[in-house]
Structure 1
Amino acid sequence: MRRPRLAFGLAVLCVAIGVPAHAWAATSGATAARPVVHMEATVLAAQIDPRRADHTLTPGAESSVLAVEQALQALDLLQAQWVDGYFGTETISAYAAYQRSLGYTGLDATGLPGTTSLTQLGRGRYTVRDTISPGARTERDGYVVDARTQAMLAEAERLLGHALLLDQGSYNPGGDPTSAGTHDGGGVVDISVTDLTAAERTPAVRALRQVGFAAWLRDPGQGDWPWHIHAAAINDTDLSSQAQHQVGDYYLGLNGLADHGPDDGPRIPIQTWEQYRRGH
C-alpha cells in the first residue's frame, strides 16, 4: 500500500536532517495525545491544597491539576500566575466560577470537581480517568447518606465485627448548628458511641479511617455536643466546603476543629475509599 505523499515527504525530511523515521512517528503520535486528568488525585488536591500554609504539591496530582488549570485559564477564569499544579484557593474559586457558568449552584458549585463538570471542562483538552461518584442517596438509621458513604460504613462494620449507629447523617443543611455546616452536603456522618465501651471507641475510629474517612472521636469538652464519632468521607464529591476543609486538615495532621489543634486520633496511613478497595 502506498504512503500518503505528505507523510512520505516528512519521513524523507527526517532522514535528511538525521532524525530516524520511527522517532518522527513517535513524536507525531505524542503530539496528538491529550493530557490525562486523574480525578481521584485532582479531587484530593482540591481538599488538601487550600489548607496548606505553603505551596507544597499534593503527591501524584500535579500534572492533573495543571491540565485543569490550563483549561480554566483558556476560559479566562484563572490568571497565568496560578497555573502551577497547586489546587489552592484561586483555583478553587476559578473552578467554582466554571461550575456556576454551567448553571450549577449550591453543593454543585463549591469548586470541588465533579465528574460531569470535570469532563465537560476537558473536552478537546484532556481525558478524565479514575472517576468518582457519591452514588444515589439512601436511608440509614433514619438519616440520609449517599451510596458511597453507606458502602464505607458497611465495610468499617465488617472490620469491627459490630454495627455502627448514626446519630446524624448527610445532606442536612442547618439541621445542627453545632456542626458548622459540615453535614450540609454528602459524605459526613456522626456515629453514636452510647453502645460502645471506652475500649471500643478508638478501634471504631481506626476502622473508619482505614476505609477512607477522616474520623475523630469528639467529646463534650470540645464543643456543645455529646460524645460521638465525627466522620467525613475523603473524596466524596458532594462534601460541603466546610467538610472539604476538615478532610484537608486531616491530611495535614490536624483535628478538623476551629482551633486547628493536632490530630488526637489513631494515626494510620491515610487512604481514600477507592485506594482501600484496590488493596483488598
Structure 2
Amino acid sequence: MQATRAHRGLSTARAALHVTWLLARAPDGVRADEVAATLGKSVSTAYNLLASLCDEGVAERHAGGVYKLSPAFRETVAEESDRHDLSGVVDDLLARTHKRAYLAVLRDNQLRVVLERGLQGMPKLPGMNPEIADNAHALALGKVVLALGPRDAVDRYARTGLKRFTAHTITEPGALHEELTRVRLNGVATEREEFERDFCCLAAPVLDHDRRFLGAVGISMSRRAFDHEREQLEETLRDVVGFQRSAEIRADLDHGPHAHVTALQGRRFQRRRP
C-alpha cells in the first residue's frame, strides 16, 4: 500500500513537471483540455494539476480558462538560468583579480545584480540594492548598459536629472556622453567614488557571438586598489569577457550603439535604495 502511494505521488509530480514545461513553451497559455490531451489524462485531472500549480504560484488562470506561467516564476527561472550560464565568468574574475565580482542582467527593462562572488574582507557596499535604477550613471555596471544604448535613450535617462551621490558623480549630460564614449571604445566602464566614498568598480559587457547583450560583469575595490591596480585589472576584465577593440570601435563608428539593447534604456529604471 505504501509503495502504491509513493508511485502515485511520483506520477503526479512528473505530471505537474510536464505541465510546467508545457506552460513554459506556450507564452500565450494553454487550456485544461489541451493539457489533458497532451498528457493523455482526463480533463478533471488536468484541472487539478493546473489548480495545484496556481496554488504554488507557478501558474496563473486568465480569462477564457487559459493558464500561463506566473511572471514571478518565469522571472525566477530566468535569473537562475543567467546565474548558471554566466557564473563561470564571475568565478574567473574573482580568481584572476582577487576582487569581489558581480553579474548584472536585464529583465523587463530593469538592470539587476543577480550574482555576487567574494571572500571575507573584500570591499562591499553595505545596503546596496540589487536593482540598478536612477543610479546607473554613478555605477560601472549601469554605465555599461547606458553605453550600449543609443544617444536619445541616454538623453531621456538624463533629462529627469542625474542625481549626485558624491562629489565625484557625473551630473552633466555632456560629461556622461563623453564617459559612455570612453566605455564603448575601451570596453570597460569605471567608477571611482561616484556612488559611495572609498568604493570603486570596473565593469564590462558580456556579449554573445552575434554581439547581443547577455549581461554585465564587474569587480569592486577600495580607492587605493583602484588607483594602483586599475590598468592591470582593466586588461584582465577585457580578457575575461573577450573584448576585441578594433571590432568594437568599427561597429560603433559604422552603425552607432547596438539596436538590440535600444529598449533597455530610458527612465523606466526604478531605483530602490534604502
Range of TM-score over shorter length: under 0.3
Bigger proportion of residues as helix: 2
Higher relative contact order (CA 8 A, sep 6+): 2
TM-score for the superposition, normalised by structure 1: 0.24
TM-score for the superposition, normalised by structure 2: 0.24
Bigger proportion of residues as strand: 2
